[in-house]
Amino acid sequence: MISTFVNYNVIHNESQAETSLLRKVFTSPFLRDIFCRLRFIHNGFQNSKKLFAPSQWQCGNSPNIRSTNYHTILSSDLIHKGIDCVISNAAYVTDFNISRLNKLISQNGADIFSVTVDPDLVGYREKILVTSRGGIAGVRRMYGNYIESDRIPCCWPHHFVIRNSKLNRIIREGGLCASFGDFVELSLRLGLIWKSFRIGGWVLNLEEQSDLIEFFSNAASSMPQNRSDKKQTQIHSGARLVGKNILADSVKIDKGAVVLGPSILADNVTLSADCAINASIIGPGVYIESGTVLENRIVFETPLDSSEPHRPKPTPSRIINKSFRTWPLLSYPRLIKGVIDFLISAAAIILFAPVFLIVAIAVKLNSKGTVLFGHKRQGKGGKEFRCWKFRTMIIGANDIQNKLRTKNEVDGPQFKMENDPRITAVGKFLRETYLDEIPQFINILLGQMSLVGPRPSPKSENSLCPVWRDARLSVRPGITGLWQVKRTRLAGRDFQEWIYYDIKYVQNMGLWLDITICLRTAAKLIANFLRKI
Residue 214, H or E segment: helix 209-217
Helices and strands in the chain: count of H runs, count of E runs: 17, 27
Question: So what's the pLDDT on residue 387?
Answer: 94
Higher pLDDT, 41 or 461: 461
Q: Are residues 457 and 524 in the same domain?
A: yes
- Render 379-442 in DSSP notation, one character per residue: -GGG-EEEEEEE--B-TTHHHHHHHHGGG--SSTT----TT-TTB-HHHHHHHHHTGGGTTHHH
Residue 78 and residue 176 in one domain: yes
What pLDDT, on the 0 to 100 scale, is given for residue 389? Answer: 92
Shared domain for 440 and 301, answered yes or no, is: no
Sign of CA dihedral 349, 354, 359, 365: positive
Residues 138, 197 share a domain: yes
Distance CA 225, CA 261 (A): 9
Helix (H) or strand (E) holding 29: helix 29-41
Residues 412 and 489: beta-carbon distance below 8 Å: no
Residue type, 335: L
380 or 3: which leads in pLDDT:
380
74: alpha, beta or left? (left if phi > 0; alpha if psi -120 to 50): beta
Give the pLDDT confidence of 465-518 residue by residue, as tens digits.
666 677 888 899 999 999 888 887 776 667 777 888 888 898 889 999 999 999
Residue 214 forms part of a structural domain = no
- Whether residue 161 is contained in a domain is answered as yes
Domain membership of residue 91 (yes or no) is yes
Q: Is the peptide bond before 316 cis (omega within 30 degrees of 0)?
A: no
Please check whether residues 169 and 313 belong to one and the same domain.
Answer: no
Kindly report, residue by residue over 309-321, the tens digit of the pLDDT: 444 443 333 333 4
User: Same domain for 300 and 379?
Assistant: no
Same domain, 135 and 162: yes
At residue 321, the pLDDT reads: 44
pLDDT score, position 31: 87
Q: What is the CATH number of the domain that holds 92?
A: 3.90.550
Q: Is the pLDDT of residue 344 over 90?
A: yes
Q: Do the Cβ atoms of 216 and 281 come closer than 8 Å?
A: yes
CATH number for the domain including 226? 2.160.10.10
- pLDDT-above-70 percentage for the chain: 77
Instruction: Name the residue type at position 331.
Output: S
Q: What's the mean pLDDT in 250-272?
A: 89
User: What's the start-to-end Cα distance of the chain, in Å?
Assistant: 74
Closest of 434, 407, 423, 411 to residue 493, by C-alpha: 411
Amino acid at 261: G
Task: Residue 189: give the domain boundaries.
Answer: 5-207
| Amino acid, res. 169 | R
Confidence of residue 359 (pLDDT cuts 50, 70, 90): very high
The mean pLDDT value for 201-227 works out to 75
Same domain assignment for residues 155 and 297? no
The Cα–Cα gap between 252 and 285 comes to 11
Evaluate whether residue 216 is within a structural domain.
Answer: no
**Domain contains 74:** yes
Q: Is the pLDDT of residue 2 over 50?
A: no
Report which of residues 170 and 37 the model is more confident about. 170
For residue 519, give the 3-state DSSP assignment: helix
**Per the domain annotation, does 416 fall within a domain?**
yes
Helix (H, G, I), strand (E, B) or coil at 86: strand
- Examine the fold and report which residue of 282, 317, 352 is the final residue of a domain before the chain moves on: 317
- Domain limit, last residue, from 261, 288, 317: 317
Residue 327 belongs to some domain of the structure: no
Domain end (from 169, 184, 207): 207
Interatomic CA distance for residues 32 and 38, integer angstroms: 10
Question: Cβ(198)–Cβ(147) under 8 Å?
Answer: yes
Number of domains into which the chain is organized: 3
Point out which residues pair with 478 in neighbouring strands.
Answer: 450
Please, which pLDDT band fits residue 303 given cuts at 50, 70 and 90? low
Distance (Å, whole) CA 383 – CA 379: 5
Could you give the CA distance from residue 43 to residue 93 in angstroms, rounded to a whole number?
Answer: 7
> Do 361 and 480 belong together in one domain?
yes
Q: Say if residue 294 is exposed, middle or buried (CB neighbours under 10 Å; 0-12, 13-18, 19+).
A: buried
Beta strands (DSSP E) in 155-261 are: 159-162, 194-205, 234-235, 240-242, 245-247, 252-253, 258-260
The reply to whether 155 and 292 lie within a common domain is no
In this predicted model, what pLDDT tens digit does every residue of 381-402 receive, in sequence order?
888 999 999 998 888 766 676 6
Residue 233, in any domain of the structure: yes
How much is the mean pLDDT over the chain? Answer: 80
Per-residue confidence (pLDDT) for residue 108, from 0 to 100: 84
Q: Indicate if 290 and 150 belong to the same structural domain.
A: no
Whether residue 403 sits in one domain with residue 287: no
pLDDT band per the 50, 70, 90 thresholds, residue 231: low
